[in-house]
């Protein structure tokens, strides 16, 4: 109901025009690069699953991808993936699908078992960053060791890019997916573009 | 012309590539591979600057990072201008434009040099002693004048046009410095198979080997061995070599900061490349092979252009093919001076004499010098120099057992000095390692480590080539083993180089000059003389930390690289106290001055901070909305039409909502989905309200307290199902509230079967508010009956809008009938536009946060953070009704039971009417009972919100006032700087107090 504190009163004229940045326009204007190309990924069904032990197996069965039990790893089956984000938290991804049937199927399979399933399909958008310099580009805003030993294919984690939280996963030796909350997406995209210069 | 002072051949410059540059407008030429300093020296130029305080003419003292004098401004234009660069590190490129600093009108004739004549009036601490009165004159007059006179370079006036980037990297072994020890360390670590980074601040790897003339390693000339070693390292795919990269900071847990200069040395830089890169390297193990710096000798007139460090003179001749002069005098306290003499003689410089402080120089190098026919004078000190803008002669005085002997003037155009070497322990010291004093070498060496690092070679006092190589290899192997348990193969180095011995000198050298007038410089950059330091000790200073600050020795941009040990020696001598008891000042990052740009990186302008936009932002921007910053969000503040200002626009928007319908983007509200069998129990514990009986499909306004009983956040909560709540929070409070809840869940109540998921960005929230809201929405919604009976105030329904799933709340933050349409944010704009179109025939008006604020204030709704300040209880802000008195417990309940939390004189939320209805109070203004009371006037409280209300035709304000509810009807006063405003205390609900407009 209520709102955050404002910095100043009504007489101070603290406003300003702000045309804003459209992610679609940014993506359209992005130049391909052999060393690190940046692509906006299409809409994806995203479900957060959290719950007790008993619900974990049935949820994975209903989704068709087992929920990984190893920290910071993701499982994939066909187009669908499940990312481990915490000891009792996973995110289920189904690119190109609508969330409703998946939601219903998992709820049916886990009925009566303590858990929480929440549709967050719209919460974030995802970018693919691919090429031999992808890690070099990401390391301009992300402090993790992105060498293949330390961050192998199949690894995922919630981390940061500059001042934004992201979920990062490595889908191939030279390919990463950056999942970022929608309102932070233009910021992260523009910084990635800046980092791609000269890469 | 490529320089009259070039050697005939040799050096690492490329004589096939001449490079044109200018210095103070003078057109000169050097070669590719030159630094600005070496090119100037090759052109016979030593005079490069004026000193900081006395404006004395100064020349190039060194050949590296330790240069205190030759600071220049470089840049093709104002937007690319960098002041205070060390000419010894500026690489020459075609068209380089450099200028000297701190001189006016010109380098050769500088008006500020009058300071030198006045120097008896400028003793150490003169700032503190002289400019005492009047106090105001310090900021207005003295400081600006002193700063202008005692300056370094000027700051550029145009914004920096260059780009900078920041990078993180990881490695097993980081080796800092690529001299003999660093190279050997990198070879060992590389052979162990671990991931190695070798960094060096110079354009070429090799350190001291780059200036080597006659040393050999493994039977090869040292420079050939260097080329082979670098080839070996380059070929290894586990090794990263980085030149032009300064390790400038050593931070906890082996985080090393590197500054890489990428395009600084290029005439036409690739626009895609940044000027510099900041590297933050997390290294498992570190080898510090940072080498050593030569110590100058502190003798009278030792600052004349042409007076240089001996090993730097040798570097210019051997590495750059630039002769520092035609006829040299060497003043030395160690064998290194002889090595310089021999190398300069080989380059064709006449050696007039070597003055050696020692009685009996007997090493291998002195013997070679004698054999080469160079005149060696033991027990001899240089006690003065002559010349104005360049040294023209040196006074050599024989030292007897008890007194001084004869003085002889010897003509020379360069004077080289060597007091021995000081290990570069800067990074070790930054890592909080403990230094140990080595009484043989008269210097500090690394002692006990704190971080996972080890020093190698000259940086720990091993100055001989063979010892440095052996030590470096051992340390590299040790680091690889510590990082990964890897083993390096055994390797030995057969090094042949003349031995340097361990002699040296710290402190001032003896002289027979009048001590009142002789200027023997300790710190060239800050113009501190031996006399200044002695004066400080006479005035009672004992600790080197105090002496440093009083005299400013070691406080310049070179951080005392050349001066610290000599200052210690002088203090030790004056106080008759051994050096280790005087202490050592702290080495702080950065090792060398670092650009601001590197710390900003890409975080400039639009990318300084994330500017969060809602899905509807583009629409609002197209409508000409004015935005405000709320946290990182951009929120539409108001939507001006035509020439409207904010007041007109807000008044119009308010009227539209009260009389017809308005549309508002509330997407930034924080949202949390709380799901699980224990969701209601969890809500009961987190909020003051009772939740168990809230039926699915209903909304409730919830208040959340901190443990101390004060209001933390509020928001409307919808119960979607028995085990599912849709919680909203304030815009700014969302992350804090989620963390607060998750904290309790994980640490206090892990037994509860309930989970939290942030859905702030899942939903776009479109508020449709006003008496006609139902008519606007009704045609668009499917599966939701909006009628008063089916969907009463404070209920929630699920259905679809344009086929898109939606959760519609019947809720009002305006006091009017209202709905909030939640849709997945990828469809937010589409749904917004559909609602806006549907509302056209009802005059739907988009409104911004300012109108929202006015409308809620008319209804007396609080804003957490505006009406509350972290010390307000629910009752203080009239929310006592929201506290479930019958509840067993909730966060903050115990605290609310404290007596002071219900004291009658607590500040309570009330309304204020100004007696003059058009006066709008200032938010934050204090409220008093008697403005004429003696100062300090007792304060009753303050204005928290204040607006002009168009529906009431007058101003309104909310305030928190001590015992406010008991004062309703009273007159109080708001004192302002120019007048006192009389106000009447009122109920805080100004409009529709019975709430009849919700259900129209």
Distance CA B357, CA B355 (A): 7
Contact B614, B764 (CB under 8 A): yes
In angstroms, the separation between the Cα of residue A76 and the nearest Cα of chain B is: 23
Secondary-structure percent of chain A, ordered helix, strand, coil, rounded to 5? 25, 35, 40
> Where residue B131 falls among pLDDT bands split at 50, 70, 90?
low
Strands (E), B177-229: 196-199, 216-217, 220-221
For B758-789, how does the pLDDT look when each residue is reduced to its tens digit (9 = 90+)?
999 999 999 999 999 999 999 999 999 999 99
The reported pLDDT for the residue numbered B281 is 98
Average pLDDT, chain B: 94
* Whether residue A7 has pLDDT greater than 70: no
**B910, B913, B914, B916 alpha-carbon torsion, rounded to 10°:** -170
Task: Looking at the structure, tell me whether residues B734 and B791 fall in a common domain.
Answer: yes
SS (H, E, C) B105-137: ECCCCEHHHHHHHCHHHCCCCHHHHHCCCCHHH
Distance CA B115, CA B152 (A): 16
Task: Looking at the structure, tell me whether residues B342 and B476 fall in a common domain.
Answer: no
* CB nearest to A5's CB, from B163, B861, B865: B865
Distance CA B370, CA B457 (A): 30
Any domain includes B547: no
Contact B327, B353 (CB under 8 A): no
* Whether residue A12 has pLDDT greater than 50: no
The reported pLDDT for the residue numbered B143 is 66
Distance CA B98, CA B87 (A): 9
Any domain includes B867: no
DSSP states of B729-784: E-TTTHHHHHHHHHHHHHHT-TTS--EEEE-TTTEEEEEEESTTHHHHHGGGEES-
* Whether residue B11 has pLDDT greater than 90: yes
Helix, strand or coil, per DSSP, at residue B859? coil
Mutate: best of B612, B725, B829, partner A, most A CBs <10 A: B612
What is the arithmetic mean of pLDDT over A34-38? 95
Contact A115, A157 (CB under 8 A): no
Task: Looking at the structure, tell me whether residues B847 and B939 fall in a common domain.
Answer: no
A vs B: CB pairs below 8 A = 207
Per-residue tokens: B977: 């700087």
Task: Looking at the structure, tell me whether residues B762 and B845 fall in a common domain.
Answer: yes
Distance CA A65, CA A67 (A): 6
Would an 8 Å CB–CB cutoff place B804 in contact with chain A? no
Would an 8 Å CB–CB cutoff place B164 in contact with chain A? no
Any domain includes B138: no
Contact B399, B380 (CB under 8 A): yes
Quote the distance between the C-alpha of residue B474 and its chain's center.
36
Q: How many CB atoms lie within 10 A of CB A32?
A: 9
Task: Looking at the structure, tell me whether residues B698 and B834 fall in a common domain.
Answer: yes
Q: Which residues contact B476 (CB under 8 A, 6 or more apart)?
A: B173, B175, B184, B185, B186, B187, B188, B189, B192, B287, B456, B488
DSSP annotation of B439: T
* Whether residue B634 has pLDDT greater than 50: yes
Any domain includes B891: no
The reported pLDDT for the residue numbered B117 is 74
The reported pLDDT for the residue numbered B76 is 85
Contact B41, B53 (CB under 8 A): no
Please state the pTM of the whole predicted model: 0.93
Closest CA to B110 of B53, B56, B47: B56
> Where residue B179 falls among pLDDT bands split at 50, 70, 90?
very high
* Whether residue B997 has pLDDT greater than 50: yes
Residue in chain B closest to A161 (alpha carbons) equals B610
For B648-678, how does the pLDDT look when each residue is reduced to its tens digit (9 = 90+)?
999 999 999 999 999 999 999 999 999 999 9
Per-residue tokens: B127: 């700032």
Of B179 and B587, the one with more pLDDT: B179
Contact B172, B480 (CB under 8 A): yes
The reported pLDDT for the residue numbered A8 is 35
Q: Which residues contact B934 (CB under 8 A, 6 or more apart)?
A: none
Domain boundary among B91, B120, B149: B120
Task: Looking at the structure, tell me whether residues B832 and B946 fall in a common domain.
Answer: no
* Whether residue B41 has pLDDT greater than 60: yes
Lowest mean pLDDT segment, chosen from B169-183, B220-234, B358-372, B583-597: B583-597
CATH number of the domain enclosing B438: 3.50.50.60
Task: Looking at the structure, tell me whether residues B382 and B448 fall in a common domain.
Answer: no
CB contact under 8 A, A10 and B920: yes
> Where residue A5 falls among pLDDT bands split at 50, 70, 90?
very low
Domain boundaries, position B32: 14-120
Scored b (16 or more CB within 10 A) or e, A93-112 reads: bbeeeebeebbeebeebbee
Closest CA to B225 of B489, B494, B12: B494
Secondary-structure percent of chain B, ordered helix, strand, coil, rounded to 5? 25, 30, 45
Distance CA B568, CA B554 (A): 11
Domain boundary among B439, B470, B488: B488
Task: Looking at the structure, tell me whether residues B672 and B749 fall in a common domain.
Answer: yes
The reported pLDDT for the residue numbered B610 is 97
* Whether residue B586 has pLDDT greater than 90: no
Distance CA A49, CA A56 (A): 9
B360 to each of B356, B401, B926, how far by Cα in Å? 9, 13, 83
Domain boundaries, chain A: 22-43+123-199, 44-120
* Whether residue B506 has pLDDT greater than 50: yes
What is the tally of structural domains in chain B? 5
Task: Looking at the structure, tell me whether residues B288 and B350 fall in a common domain.
Answer: no
What is the arithmetic mean of pLDDT over A69-79? 98
Interaxial angle between packed helices B544-551 and B530-538, expressed in degrees from 0 to 180 and rounded to the nearest 10: 120
Distance CA A91, CA B261 (A): 42
In angstroms, the separation between the Cα of residue A77 and the nearest Cα of chain B is: 25
Q: H-helix or E-strand containing B627?
A: strand B626-630
What is the arithmetic mean of pLDDT over B398-405? 91
Residues in chain A closer than 8 A to B614 (CB atoms): 183
Distance CA B46, CA B64 (A): 15
Q: Which residues contact B990 (CB under 8 A, 6 or more apart)?
A: B857, B858, B859, B860, B911, B949, B952, B956
For B467-489, how does the pLDDT look when each residue is reduced to its tens digit (9 = 90+)?
999 999 999 999 999 999 999 99
β-bridge mates for residue B907, sequence order: B962
Per-residue tokens: B763: 């939903």
Distance CA B32, CA B18 (A): 6
What is the arithmetic mean of pLDDT over B264-272? 92
Q: Are strands B414-418 and B327-332 parallel, antiparallel or unpaired?
A: parallel
Any domain includes B991: no
Per-residue tokens: B60: 């190039």
Mutate: best of B755, B862, B920, B956, partner A, most A CBs <10 A: B755
Q: Are strands A124-130 and A37-40 parallel, antiparallel or unpaired?
A: antiparallel
Scored b (16 or more CB within 10 A) or e, B6-37 reads: bbeebbbbeeeebbebebbeeebbbbebbbbb
Mutate: best of B171, B609, B610, B921, partner A, most A CBs <10 A: B610
Q: What is the CATH number of domain A22-43+123-199?
A: 3.30.1360.120
ipTM for this prediction: 0.94
Distance CA B505, CA B485 (A): 42
The reported pLDDT for the residue numbered B110 is 77
Per-residue tokens: A134: 């992808």
How many Cα neighbours within 13 Å face the side chain of B751?
2
DSSP annotation of B213: S
Rounded to 5 degrees, φ, ψ at A27 are -65, -40
* Whether residue B2 has pLDDT greater than 60: no
Residues in chain A closer than 8 A to B276 (CB atoms): none
Distance CA B534, CA B314 (A): 33
> Where residue A4 falls among pLDDT bands split at 50, 70, 90?
very low
In angstroms, the separation between the Cα of residue A47 and the nearest Cα of chain B is: 10
Contact A117, A103 (CB under 8 A): yes
Task: Looking at the structure, tell me whether residues B390 and B304 fall in a common domain.
Answer: yes
The reported pLDDT for the residue numbered B103 is 77
Label residue B471 left, alpha or beta by phi (over 0 means left) and psi (-120 to 50 means alpha): alpha
Distance CA B664, CA A114 (A): 38
Residue in chain B closest to A188 (alpha carbons) equals B610
Mutate: best of B170, B483, B598, partner A, most A CBs <10 A: B170
Average pLDDT, chain A: 93
CATH number of the domain enclosing B90: 3.10.20.440
In angstroms, the separation between the Cα of residue A120 and the nearest Cα of chain B is: 5
For B898-923, how does the pLDDT look when each residue is reduced to its tens digit (9 = 90+)?
999 999 999 999 999 999 999 999 99
DSSP annotation of B374: -
The reported pLDDT for the residue numbered B130 is 59
The reported pLDDT for the residue numbered B992 is 94
Distance CA B517, CA B300 (A): 9
Task: Looking at the structure, tell me whether residues B415 and B433 fall in a common domain.
Answer: no
DSSP states of B28-95: EEEEET-BHHHHHHHTT--EEEE-TTT--EEE---SSTT-SS-EEEE-SSGGG-EEEEETTTPBP-TT
Decide if domain A44-120 falls under CATH 3.30.70.890: no
Residues in chain B closer than 8 A to A14 (CB atoms): 628, 637
Of B516 and B179, the one with more pLDDT: B179
CATH number of the domain enclosing B839: 3.30.1360.120
The reported pLDDT for the residue numbered B659 is 97
The reported pLDDT for the residue numbered B113 is 75
Task: Looking at the structure, tell me whether residues B203 and B323 fall in a common domain.
Answer: no
Domain boundary among B401, B419, B437: B419
Strands of the B724-729 sheet, one edge to the other: B699-705, B711-721, B724-729, B670-675, B755-758
């Amino acid at each position: 109901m209520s709102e955050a504190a404002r910095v100043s009163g009504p007489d101070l004229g603290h406003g300003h025009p702000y045309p804003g940045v459209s992610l679609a326009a940014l993506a359209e204007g992005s130049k391909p690069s052999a060393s690190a190309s940046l692509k906006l990924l299409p809409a994806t069904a995203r479900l957060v699953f959290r719950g007790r032990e008993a619900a974990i197996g049935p949820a994975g069965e209903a989704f068709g991808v087992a929920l990984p039990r190893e920290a910071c790893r993701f499982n994939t089956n066909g187009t669908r993936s499940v990312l481990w984000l915490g000891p009792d938290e996973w995110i289920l991804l189904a690119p190109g699908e609508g969330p409703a049937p998946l939601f219903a199927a998992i709820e049916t399979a886990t009925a009566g078992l303590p858990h929480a399933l929440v549709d967050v399909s719209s919460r974030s958008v995802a970018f693919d960053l691919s090429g031999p310099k992808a890690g070099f580009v990401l390391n301009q805003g992300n402090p993790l060791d992105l060498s293949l030993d330390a961050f192998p294919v199949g690894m995922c984690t919630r981390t940061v890019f500059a001042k934004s939280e992201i979920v990062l996963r490595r889908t191939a030796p030279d390919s990463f997916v950056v999942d970022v909350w929608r309102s932070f997406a233009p910021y992260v995209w523009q910084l990635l573009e800046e980092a791609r210069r000269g890469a | 012309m490529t320089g009259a002072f070039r050697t005939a051949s040799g050096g690492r410059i490329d004589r096939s590539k001449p490079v044109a540059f200018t210095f103070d407008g003078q057109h000169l030429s050097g070669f590719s591979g030159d630094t600005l300093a070496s090119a100037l020296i090759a052109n016979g130029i030593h005079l490069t600057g004026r000193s900081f305080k006395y404006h004395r003419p100064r020349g190039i003292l060194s050949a590296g990072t330790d240069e205190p004098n030759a600071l220049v401004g470089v840049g093709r234009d104002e937007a690319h201008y960098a002041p205070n660069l060390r000419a010894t590190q500026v690489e020459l490129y075609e068209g380089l434009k450099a200028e000297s600093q701190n001189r006016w009108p010109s380098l050769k004739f500088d008006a500020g040099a009058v300071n030198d004549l006045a120097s008896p009036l400028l003793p150490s601490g003169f700032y503190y002693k002289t400019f005492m009165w009047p106090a105001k004159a310090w900021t207005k007059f003295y400081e600006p004048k002193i700063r202008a006179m005692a300056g370094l370079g000027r700051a550029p006036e145009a914004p920096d046009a260059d780009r900078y980037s920041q990078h993180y990297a990881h490695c097993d072994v980081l080796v800092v410095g690529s001299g003999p020890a660093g190279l050997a360390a990198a070879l060992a670590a590389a052979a162990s198979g671990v991931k190695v980074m070798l960094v060096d601040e110079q354009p070429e790897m090799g350190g001291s080997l780059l200036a080597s003339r006659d040393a050999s390693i493994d039977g090869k000339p040292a420079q050939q061995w260097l080329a082979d070693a670098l080839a070996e390292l380059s070929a290894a795919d586990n090794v990263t070599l980085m030149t032009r990269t300064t390790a400038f900071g050593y931070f906890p847990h082996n985080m090393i900061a590197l500054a890489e200069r990428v395009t600084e040395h290029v005439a036409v830089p690739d626009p895609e490349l940044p000027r510099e890169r900041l590297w933050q390297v997390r290294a498992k193990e570190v080898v510090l092979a940072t080498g050593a710096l030569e110590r100058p000798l502190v003798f009278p007139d030792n600052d004349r252009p042409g007076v240089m460090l001996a090993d730097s003179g040798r570097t210019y001749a051997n590495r750059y093919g630039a002769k520092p002069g035609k006829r040299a005098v060497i003043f030395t306290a160690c064998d290194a001076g002889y090595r310089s003499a021999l190398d300069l003689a080989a380059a064709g410089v006449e050696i007039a004499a070597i003055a050696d402080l020692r009685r009996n120089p007997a090493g291998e190098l002195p013997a070679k010098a004698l054999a080469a026919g160079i005149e060696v004078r033991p027990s001899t000190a240089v006690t003065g120099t002559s010349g104005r803008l360049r040294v023209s002669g040196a006074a050599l005085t024989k030292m007897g057992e008890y007194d001084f002997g004869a003085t002889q003037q010897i003509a020379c155009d360069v004077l080289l000095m060597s007091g021995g070497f000081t290990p570069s322990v800067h990074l070790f010291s930054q890592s909080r390692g403990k230094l140990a004093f080595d009484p043989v070498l008269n210097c500090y060496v690394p002692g006990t480590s704190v971080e996972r690092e080890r020093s190698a070679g000259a940086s720990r006092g091993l100055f001989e080539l063979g010892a440095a190589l052996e030590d470096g290899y051992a340390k590299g192997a040790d680091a690889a083993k510590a990082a990964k348990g890897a083993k390096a193969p055994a390797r030995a180095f057969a090094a042949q180089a003349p031995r340097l011995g361990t002699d040296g000198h710290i402190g001032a050298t003896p002289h027979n000059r009048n001590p009142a007038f002789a200027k023997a410089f300790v710190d060239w950059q800050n113009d501190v003389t031996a006399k200044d330091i002695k004066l400080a000790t006479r005035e009672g200073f004992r600790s080197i930390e105090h002496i440093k600050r009083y005299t400013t020795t070691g406080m310049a941009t070179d951080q005392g690289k050349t001066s610290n040990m000599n200052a210690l020696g002088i203090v030790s001598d004056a106080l008759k106290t051994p050096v280790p008891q005087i202490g050592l000042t702290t080495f702080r990052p950065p090792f060398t001055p670092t650009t601001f740009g590197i710390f900003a990186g890409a975080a400039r302008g639009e990318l300084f901070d994330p500017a969060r936009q809602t899905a509807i932002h583009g629409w609002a921007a197209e409508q000409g909305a004015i935005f405000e910053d709320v946290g990182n969000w951009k929120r539409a503040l108001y939507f001006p039409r035509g020439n409207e200002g904010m007041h007109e626009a807000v008044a119009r928007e308010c009227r539209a909502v009260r009389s017809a319908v308005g549309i508002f983007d509330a997407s930034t509200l924080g949202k949390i989905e709380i799901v699980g069998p224990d969701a209601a129990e969890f809500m009961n514990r987190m909020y003051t309200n009772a939740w168990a009986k809230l039926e699915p499909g209903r909304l409730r306004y919830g208040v959340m307290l901190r443990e101390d009983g004060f209001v933390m956040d509020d928001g409307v909560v919808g119960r979607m199902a028995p085990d599912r709540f849709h919680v909203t929070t304030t815009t700014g409070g969302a992350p804090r509230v989620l963390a607060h809840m998750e904290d309790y869940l994980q640490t206090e109540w892990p037994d509860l079967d309930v989970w939290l998921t942030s859905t702030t960005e899942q939903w776009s929230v479109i508020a449709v508010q006003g008496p006609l809201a139902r008519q606007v929405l009704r045609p668009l919604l499917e599966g939701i009956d909006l009628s008063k009976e089916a969907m009463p105030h404070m209920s929630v329904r699920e259905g679809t809008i344009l086929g898109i799933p939606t959760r519609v709340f019947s809720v009002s933050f305006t006091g009017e009938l209202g709905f909030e349409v939640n849709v997945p944010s990828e469809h937010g704009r589409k749904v917004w536009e559909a609602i806006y179109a549907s509302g056209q025939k009802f005059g739907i008006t988009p409104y911004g946060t300012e109108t929202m604020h006015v409308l809620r204030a008319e209804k007396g709704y609080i804003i957490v953070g505006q009406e509350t300040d972290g010390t307000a209880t629910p009752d203080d802000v009239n929310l006592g009704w929201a506290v479930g008195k019958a509840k067993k417990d909730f966060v903050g309940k115990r605290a609310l039971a404290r007596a002071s939390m219900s004291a009658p004189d607590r500040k309570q939320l009330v309304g204020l009417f100004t007696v003059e209805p058009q006066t709008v109070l200032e938010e934050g203004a204090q409220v008093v009972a008697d403005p004429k009371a003696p100062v300090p006037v007792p304060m009753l409280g303050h204005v928290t919100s204040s607006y002009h209300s168009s529906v009431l035709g007058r101003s309104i304000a909310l305030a928190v006032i001590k015992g406010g509810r008991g004062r309703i009807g009273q007159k109080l006063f708001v004192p302002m700087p120019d007048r006192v405003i009389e106000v009447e205390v009122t109920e805080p609900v100004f409009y529709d107090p019975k709430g009849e407009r919700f259900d129209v």
